[in-house]
Chain A
Amino acid sequence: MAERMQSCNLSEHNFEQCTKCSICTTVCPVAAVTTDYPGPKQAGPDGERYRLKDPAYYDKALKLCLNCKRCEVACPSGVHIADIIQHARMRATLGKKASLRDTMLANTDLLGTMANLVAPVANATLGLSPTKLVMDSVMAIDKHRTFPAYSRQKFTTWYKRHAAKEQDAYRNHVSYFHGCYVNYNFPKLGQDLVKIMNAVGYGVHLLDKEQCCGVALIANGLYKQAKRQAHTNIDNIRKAVNTDHRTVIATSSSCTFNMRDEYPSMLGIDNADVRDNINLATRFIYNLVDEEKIKLVFKQDYKRRIAYHTACHMQRMGWQLFSIELLRMIPGLDLQVLEQECCGISGTYGFKKENYERSQAIGAALFKSIEEAQVEAVATDCETCKWQIEMSTSLPVENPISVLADALDVEATRQANGIK
């Protein structure tokens, strides 16, 4: 009888399902490089039992977690280990004010807005060694880090001036969640996406309103603000999906993962009705090709050697396959898929002085394999992986969408898809 009454064990984040097999700890990039971090099993399900007894048992070592989610991918019992750790951190920081440094790092869009206005100055200033030294000592932002350069023109400004009015003419439509990086630092990626989507007959639209997805806010404990922004985003995504019947696509794996999975689990925001319609551009395009709804035609003379790096959040979603297979459609591309390893940056984590050495130690194996790969560039779906790899290796890094755009024969593709 008792056995029947206990037909299932329910617990938050499935923490009771943990059988202590420790596989998660063996794949944890942090535990691999430092004894200061007890590993996901102890920090997650084990520590949680103590924290249920008394929140005072919160271990400050949990701050070392990258939230890369590799533990969750490895867990054979479906325990949401990283979520347990993130929630413990959330409970421990509730009501506490984030430091100026963390607030600054987390507010990627605010910083971007200001920097765009004074881009040449900002780029020059942030790059200067005296500035770096001040940031290092006063702000505890590591001096080795270079802030990504700010663009003079925001993506949205470009879009409104040069792309917006043509978009309605297409047969099919998508909404594009560009994210902070495309908007403030690297509009070219957004332009590349518009170029590809237009070539296959899709009009690209912006959401009525978009705010930073908040992945850095969550990581830095600014939950209230993250929640406000998430509500704005989900409301606008909901309108795009339900009223305009458009799938929302993004070019950043972290924005995508955050809006699909962290909104409900970390911020308690119900996105179930639109979650399936928040997609990554590479996956969206791959599926269109796979279902023979569109055709891609590539440049005849295109030839490149590229290595693909799987970002942690890509691995958590299990979507690296779509980016890889999409790139493999390019006949002239020699694609080498790297071992799935964490690059160590984890968004703002690696920017913090206290994490710098650990961050580099975590990425060391990846950097080595990139240097040995004999390729011209690295492709990855995550912008912070890009910064980290560009800083730590001699190679440039591109989003697969940019690689695709570069290889695409736009005219031939338009013809193949019947676009005038």
Chain B
Amino acid sequence: MKTSEIYKKEYDVIIVGGGATGAGTARDCALRGLKVLLVERNDYSTGATGRNHGLMHSGARYAVTDGESASECISENMILRRIARHCVEETDGLFITLPEDDLEYQKTFVEACQRAGIRADIIDPEEARRIEPAVNHDLIGAVRVPDAAIDPFRLTVANLLDARMHGAETLNYHEVEGVIINQNRVEGLKLFNKLNGEHVEVRARVVVNAAGIWGQRIAQMAGVNISMFPARGALLIFGHRVNNMVINRCRKPANADILVPDDTVCVIGTTSDRIPIETVDDMRVTREEVDVLLKEGVKIAPSLATTRIIRAYAGVRPLVASDDDPSGRSISRGIVCLDHAKRDGLEGFITITGGKMMTYRLMGEIATNAVCAKLGNTAPCVTASQPLPGSEEDAPSQSDATKRYSFGQRAAIGRHGSLAARIEKDNDIDNALVCECEGVTVGEIKYAVHQLHVHNLVNLRRRTRVGMGTCQGKLCSCRAASLMGEFRNDVKGAQEDLAAFLDERWKGMRPVAWGDTLREAQLTAAIYEGLCGLDMAVNMEGKEDVQ
């Protein structure tokens, strides 16, 4: 549907926020037959959804401190293994006790896991060293739990795809400028189209605020108050996997105590710092954060000390103050769903917040229940049983793929599951690799650009992993930019996009720019600035950060 037609339509529900929660809510609403519009100010999964560990918690981490979250996690964990197979890698996880940790805590931990319904098997340290050779060999205790790795970008896209297949519309790069209220009833939103500079309005019977940490601003526009407490966490990405299981420290949650194998890389994190709400858009990682992450990380897996760090990034957890304690001392990590009619006397407005990426589906279900209650829709929720697009029962598996497909095609199946069938692969050009680090073909780029709402290279990266390998876009970004320029018949635009993309990559490399990562960055600069004069061709001064 054309964007201009979307503006004219009357929706049952508009969801604000294109993270996992918004996408999950949109899918649930669409599956229950509602007319749905989702709006996102940047690209999908640019907030906390795309800025975490990529860890599919078993819930074990929360078992001791927050039994309710732990139970939610294990239940969602089991659901996601079924409905989102192509986004999940079933790695299992270890909770290790190091000599400096108290082994007594292991007992408390295992009991708490059992109470929450999480399988937790104490295993011999020797067995832990055998099944995960990267683990610190000094460990004195280990517990095996059903942790896993999950790709939040794919997960979000799969939810959006399913929502669209069921009639939902989605708009990215549309920022909310105001909430249209008529006689204490929210009737729609004023939006700013960042792609063409237009100011527009969209209308619906209910608006769901699923904007994560930015939900406080959305609420303010509607004249209601929510107190968010942003907790910032920084993470480091290593150039390749050192571990094939998730490794956690078996102690009270602290800095840098989880190492997750994500796709071709591994990620250590996180730090945790309260920050003022005004600074949530500043995602620069500091020197101190890098130091803490590496210092603690090597305790989990000593080889991290000699493994190349390719990137640092940070995200903000959207923690919410409990409603009965506006001071913020009592902060919930659980899911918060606010019906503002009951709470603030404002009809047609619901906020879904708190929670975790891990529980996005449950948050979607809770929010959709609240929407349906308002609209008198009685359809049941099916998101826990119906597989996401790409994860259907007959989706190809990795081992089967080995025999029949090329490397790039297999990498694509790993990313898109059964949807990889939509990728063109009939000739040498379509099968040619654009991104050699991550195995992304020309065919996959075409698919992403034409079917997955890609406006720029950063969007493309989130859909395909272009530029996420160790060269951070050195080779692939130029090829990908050339393809996008060709599709759009816009060379100048492609050049600007290329420059912006390389700039965005450098930002993440900068906090860890030494050794081979620095050599890599210098070669990139030499090619694009020294050789191609990209900085002369494109003036980046005053350009907004590409999201």
Residues of A within 8 A of B (CB): 1-3, 5-6, 8-11, 15-22, 35, 38, 41-42, 45-50, 52-54, 56-59, 61, 77
Contacts and interface: CB of A to CB of B under 8 A. Distances in A.
Contacts of A54: 398
B261 interface: yes
B408 to A, nearest CB: 9
Given A16-B239, A16-B240, A35-B428, A46 B295 contact: no
A20 B520 CA distance: 8
B161 interface: no
Q: Which of A3, A20, A22 has the most CB of B within 10 A?
A: A20
B407 interface: yes
Contacts of B519: 19, 77
Question: Interface range on chain B: under 10, 10 to 19, 20 to 34, or 35 or more?
Answer: 35 or more
Interface in B367-422: 398-399, 401-402, 406-407, 410-411
B148 to A, nearest CB: 14
Contacts of A11: 240, 306-308
Nearest to B411: A50
B14 to A, nearest CB: 39
A1 B291 contact: yes
Contact of A59 (B264, B308, B309, B407): B407
A16 B428 contact: no
Given A10-B307, A20-B475, A42-B433, 14 more contacts: A2-B290, A9-B307, A15-B240, A16-B240, A21-B523, A38-B407, A38-B436, A42-B407, A48-B240, A52-B240, A52-B264, A53-B241, A56-B398, A61-B406
B504 interface: no
A184 B290 CA distance: 63
B323 interface: no
Q: Which 4 A-B pairs have the closest CB atoms?
A: A20-B471, A10-B306, A59-B407, A49-B264
A19 B407 contact: no
B77 interface: no
Contacts of B399: 56
Contacts of A61: 406-407
Contacts of A49: 239-241, 264-265, 437, 469-470
Nearest to B520: A19
Contacts of B298: 5
Contacts of A17: 516
Contacts of B291: 1-2
B514 interface: yes
A1 B293 CA distance: 11
Contacts of B264: 49-50, 52-53
19 contacts: A1-B294, A2-B512, A5-B295, A5-B305, A6-B309, A6-B515, A10-B307, A16-B470, A16-B516, A17-B516, A19-B520, A20-B474, A20-B475, A48-B240, A52-B241, A56-B402, A59-B406, A59-B407, A77-B516
B428 A18 contact: no
A41 B515 contact: no
A72 B434 CA distance: 23
B50 interface: no
Contacts of B309: 2, 6
Nearest to A59: B407
A9 B515 CA distance: 8
Contacts of A5: 294-295, 298, 305
B111 interface: no
A2 B410 contact: no
A33 to B, nearest CB: 14
B515 A18 contact: no
B439 interface: yes
Contacts of A18: 470
Interface string B505-547: 0000000101110011001000000000000000000000000
A8 B474 CA distance: 22
A77 B290 CA distance: 26
A3 B293 CA distance: 12
Contacts of A20: 436-437, 469-471, 474-475, 520
Nearest to B294: A2
B135 to A, nearest CB: 16
B177 interface: no
Nearest to B290: A2
B469 A46 contact: yes
A59 B402 CA distance: 8
A344 to B, nearest CB: 22
Given A16-B307, A19-B471, A52-B241, A6 B433 contact: no
A56 B194 CA distance: 43
A138 B475 CA distance: 44
B201 interface: no
Q: Which of A6, A18, A61 has the most CB of B within 10 A?
A: A6
A416 B313 CA distance: 73
A53 B470 contact: no
B424 interface: no
Nearest to A58: B402
A42 B475 CA distance: 12
B263 interface: yes
Contacts of B398: 54, 56
Contacts of A50: 264, 407, 411, 439
Contacts of B432: 35
Interface string B137-161: 0000000000000000000000000
A53 B523 CA distance: 27
A29 to B, nearest CB: 19
Interface string B252-265: 00000000010111
A42 to B, nearest CB: 4
Contact of A9 (B244, B306, B474, B475): B306
Contacts of A19: 471, 474, 516, 519-520, 523
Interface in B305-321: 305-309
